[in-house]
Amino acid sequence: MRLRMAGITLCIAGFGAVSFAAMAQSANVVSADAVAESDRAAFSFDGTFRQGGVVRGRAPSGTQRLMLDSTEIALTAEGEFLIGFGRDHGPSATLAAEFDDGRRLAEILTIAPTDWRIEHVNAARRGGRSSADFQRRRAPEIAQIVAAREIRSETDGWRQDFLWPVTGRISGVFGSQRVYRGEPGSYHGGVDIVRSSGTPVVTPADGVVVLATRTPFTLEGYLVIIDHGMGLNSAFLHLSRIDVEEGQRVQRGERIAAIGSSGRATGPHLHWGMKWGTERIDPRFLAGPMPVNRSGGDR
């Protein structure tokens, strides 16, 4: 894991503050204040401090508890952790390490805004009327998705460099949104990739299959969710076929399904959505630029 040290301001409780050289400011750097003993190391980070981004990190030696604002963060035995920032996250967050001797080290993380694709429409928002069958089926479907995403598996996929599960033309980006005469619609929670029906889909990183539907859901169609560990999971929607089973361990690049147009879809494509805990994150920040002339379908 590539690690970056954050600049700090050191305070020993009751003795004032000593300023250290601050790092240069940019969209992906951290401004920080710390409270700790001088012999404690600072946090180390690797990732994108931006709305929709994910950051891997290592806590100072001896950390017993880690908090991101009011949320407790899981730690590995080596002190590694993962944090994410939702699409509408505010400009800052506080990451605090608590030690067994009662000391506390806190950093103020600067979260850069992302320029989401917003379309203003001079028309009223049209509301669809749900059928009785949809209303009957939808609540149990949501319950299954929520339960699957609450599963925490022992897997190191979150540490890996993520692949694109398939490559092709991107027809929908994470965070895009329409505003109807000032009324915001819901934003797009993933990335849509257009390929022909039957094109293989691979897992972007190691993980455990926590949901593999055997009947299509009303909106998602045939759906697979993979837990990559540390609260990070991927969802693959609108599939034509599923090649894995719940509880199955999968390895980065392994075929898991095929593209389709099941559920509410206008044509064959893959919707790839990711969550860290309850926060939706942008898969592009983990997968990087789309490879050229490569695809799960070309393997």
Smallest Cα–Cα separation from 59: which of 45, 39, 46, 38? Answer: 45
User: Mean pLDDT, 10 residues at a time, over the chain (299 residues)?
Assistant: 37 29 34 43 91 97 96 96 97 97 95 91 72 88 97 96 97 88 86 97 99 97 98 98 98 99 96 97 95 55
Q: Reduced to 3 states, what is the DSSP secondary structure of residue 275?
A: strand
At 22 the pLDDT is: 32
Q: Which domains does the chain have, with CATH numbers?
A: 4-110 (no CATH), 118-298 (2.70.70.10)
Distance, CA of 7 to CA of 5 (rounded, Å): 7
Q: Which helix (H) or strand (E) holds 293?
A: none
User: Torsion-angle region of residue 52: left (phi > 0), alpha (psi -120 to 50) or beta?
Assistant: left
Distance, CA of 149 to CA of 233 (rounded, Å): 7
Bridge partners of 37, per DSSP, are none
Phi, psi of 221 (to 5 degrees): 70, -150
At 74 the pLDDT is: 97
At 149 the pLDDT is: 97
Look up the pTM and report it. Answer: 0.82
Residue in this structure with the two tokens 């993380």, named with its chain if needed: 109
Please, how many CA atoms are within 13 Å of residue 165, restricted to the half-sphere of its CB?
A: 35
At 41 the pLDDT is: 66
At 15 the pLDDT is: 26
At 242 the pLDDT is: 99
At 123 the pLDDT is: 81
